[in-house]
Structure 1
Amino acid sequence: MEIFIVILLAAALRYYFDNYTFAVRNIEVSSKDLPKGFHGYRILHISDLHNSRYGKGNSSLVREVLKQGPDVIFYTGDMISRQSLAEGNFRKLIEGLAHKAPSYYVDGNHEDELQGRDKEAFLTLLARNGIRHIENEKMQLERKGDQITLYGLRLPRRYLRNTYDREGKEMLRKEYLDQCLGSSEKGFSILLVHNPLYFPVYADYGADLTFSGHVHGGLVRLPFLGGVLSPDRTLFPRYTRGVYEKEKSRIVVSPGIGGIRLRVFNQPTLYVVTLVRKDPEDAERL
């Protein structure tokens, strides 16, 4: 009986840890193509809040983001949930972070469902709190006299699944990115897009570094196997959390900071990515 109680308490503590607390992970991404002005550039990556809360008014989350001192904040979608639109905990979070750092936002599938006045109210909320909403466009980020290109891509709902859309057509192809974003620019570039499952396409397009979310780390993570399930109902999806590489391109996949409270060995996490310039003769590393 006592052993059973200990096991039950341990399971309850594990559940609480994996679903009601969050961690911060620091990642270094180095590249010989990074302009010198962006050496040491700190990116706070947050995704898939799903209107969750950490502390009253999301005060714990706000405090931790500010503590990291980011040069820029990237939001990669599903910060709201379709049931709650843009109200509540998400609103408190961005109000607490308003104008603290340049901030950029791409839609996830939940934001994609907003229409009419709801969509207008959401965009107004972002703008009022100093967040630039980017949808199928590119711009230049500047630091210390140097520039890098930032792309923001919105994927239609037909690309939610990682194989075929509803009509059974082909997978996402590079030509779609060319159509939405134009030809890729020379020099170091960053792509923001909610769904990571098309990373090979993003790499072929020419994005040096991509930021995504969507997969929630696979919800349940198993030793040696990784995340078990994606929101697209794909078992053992290829990209779930952390950094992945394809030739010189990399993708940072956030496990999310909220969502369904069914995580196992998959703590919600904020990512802080520091860009590092390496001389051409130096080996690149993560």
Structure 2
Amino acid sequence: MSRKRGSIMLKKLLYMTGLISTFGLLSKVYYDTNFIKTASVTLLTDKLKKGNNYSILQISDLHNKTFGKNHQRILKEIKKAKTDLIVITGDLIDRKTTKLDSVILLVKEMRKVNPNILYITGNHEWDNPLTSELLLQLKKQHVQVLDDKEVHMQANEGIIHIIGTGRKLAKSEKLIHLLEHANPDNFILLLSHIPNVVKHLSGRPIDLILSGHTHGGQIRFPYVGSVVVPDQGVFPAFDQGIYEWEEGKLLYIDSGAGTTRLPVRFLNQSQISIIHLIGNR
């Protein structure tokens, strides 16, 4: 084989390798962005008796995204989950959302699967002029808006005391009042869209916080993970998953279902989460 022919063959090989790699990369981005998965977390707690378990489906950071026609893909995952409760931890819509039809349709279909739905607002709701209408529509669908409010859920013989925080986060006098008067014998769950709330809650009787907001970095890199997330800057301390933020107190950050700014995910597939609370007393 001549040197010229060998050079041409090498160029063709490099071209095909680049083409295949680019196709693989774009396919991965498309899949991670448009196909939903369900993450599962199991937590033991001595606030519930053995055999006395409770399951929660968490949906966060949808940003008005749809998964298939009439939300078929995400509804399939919700139906499979069969949890006791659904919580939506903010950014159901995006700050640029101008129509609510899509998310209201999703909520209607979710209620057919599980009528027990709690909701707190996120920063994109705080910036969207349609939020008042969204809250009204959610209440019409019997979704309980839990910003600076509380609810007690029965878990057989145990109590799951759920408190929500909204725009004012830990600076809310109502939130502090609710935490100060919470019974520490119950399992105390805080819903906070922004995980940085932990900076303001040291010493408060909280067993678990469910958050979103970070998107898990949205785009992640091999061996590095997320580089930047909102409010935490470069190489964040809390991006996704479970953390012990104070002794015996846990924070779970769901990496979310939708996207914002860049409409892509990479190595960070769109997801919802199931949190299994397992009695261990």
Larger mean CA deviation between 81-90 and 99-108 belongs to 81-90
- Does the CA-based 8 Å contact 1:47-1:77 persist in structure 2? yes
- Give the equivalent residue in structure 1 for 2:221: 222
- Give the equivalent residue in structure 1 for 2:272: 270
In structure 1, C-alpha distance between the alignment counterparts of 2:142 and 2:49, rounded to whole Å: 26
In structure 2, C-alpha distance between the alignment counterparts of 1:180 and 1:207, rounded to whole Å: 11
Q: Percent identity between the aligned chains? A: 26
Structure 2 unpaired stretches of 5+: 1-14
- Give the equivalent residue in structure 2 for 1:126: 138
- Give the equivalent residue in structure 2 for 1:178: 176
Return closer, same or farther for 1:11/1:235 CA change in 2, 3 Å cut-off. same
In structure 2, C-alpha distance between the alignment counterparts of 1:36 and 1:179, rounded to whole Å: 31
Instruction: State whether structure 2 residue 20 is matched by structure 1 residue 18.
Output: no
TM-score (normalizing by structure 2): 0.85
- Does the CA-based 8 Å contact 1:62-1:96 persist in structure 2? yes
Return closer, same or farther for 1:36/1:278 CA change in 2, 3 Å cut-off. closer
Q: Aligned match of 1:87 in 100, 107, 118?
A: 100
TM-score (normalizing by structure 1): 0.83
Return closer, same or farther for 1:86/1:274 CA change in 2, 3 Å cut-off. farther
- Does the CA-based 8 Å contact 2:36-2:73 persist in structure 1? no
- Does the CA-based 8 Å contact 1:30-1:275 persist in structure 2? yes
The one-letter code matched in structure 1 to 2:226 is G
Q: Which of these two proteins has the greater Rg computed from alpha carbons? A: 2
- Does the CA-based 8 Å contact 1:36-1:146 persist in structure 2? no
- Does the CA-based 8 Å contact 1:140-1:150 persist in structure 2? yes
In structure 2, C-alpha distance between the alignment counterparts of 1:151 and 1:240, rounded to whole Å: 22
- Does the CA-based 8 Å contact 1:51-1:258 persist in structure 2? yes
State how 1:123-272 maps to structure 2 within 5 Å: 123-156=135-168, 177-179=175-177, 181-187=179-185, 188-202=187-201, 204-232=203-231, 234-245=233-244, 246-260=246-260, 261-272=263-274
In structure 2, C-alpha distance between the alignment counterparts of 1:233 and 1:277, rounded to whole Å: 34
- Does the CA-based 8 Å contact 2:148-2:172 persist in structure 1? no
In structure 1, C-alpha distance between the alignment counterparts of 2:197 and 2:227, rounded to whole Å: 18
- Does the CA-based 8 Å contact 1:50-1:79 persist in structure 2? yes
- Does the CA-based 8 Å contact 2:149-2:175 persist in structure 1? no
- Give the equivalent residue in structure 1 for 2:7: none
- Does the CA-based 8 Å contact 1:136-1:181 persist in structure 2? no
In structure 1, C-alpha distance between the alignment counterparts of 2:142 and 2:175, rounded to whole Å: 27
Shift of residue 23 of structure 1? 1.2
Q: Aligned match of 1:43 in 56, 68, 71?
A: 56
Return closer, same or farther for 1:32/1:86 CA change in 2, 3 Å cut-off. farther
In structure 1, C-alpha distance between the alignment counterparts of 2:173 and 2:242, rounded to whole Å: 25
The one-letter code matched in structure 2 to 1:45 is Q
Q: Secondary structure in 2 aligned to 1:98? A: helix
The one-letter code matched in structure 1 to 2:276 is T
- Give the equivalent residue in structure 2 for 1:165: none
- Give the equivalent residue in structure 2 for 1:55: 68
Shift of residue 240 of structure 1? 1.1
- Does the CA-based 8 Å contact 1:51-1:84 persist in structure 2? yes
Q: Secondary structure in 1 aligned to 2:55? A: strand
Shift of residue 198 of structure 1? 2.8
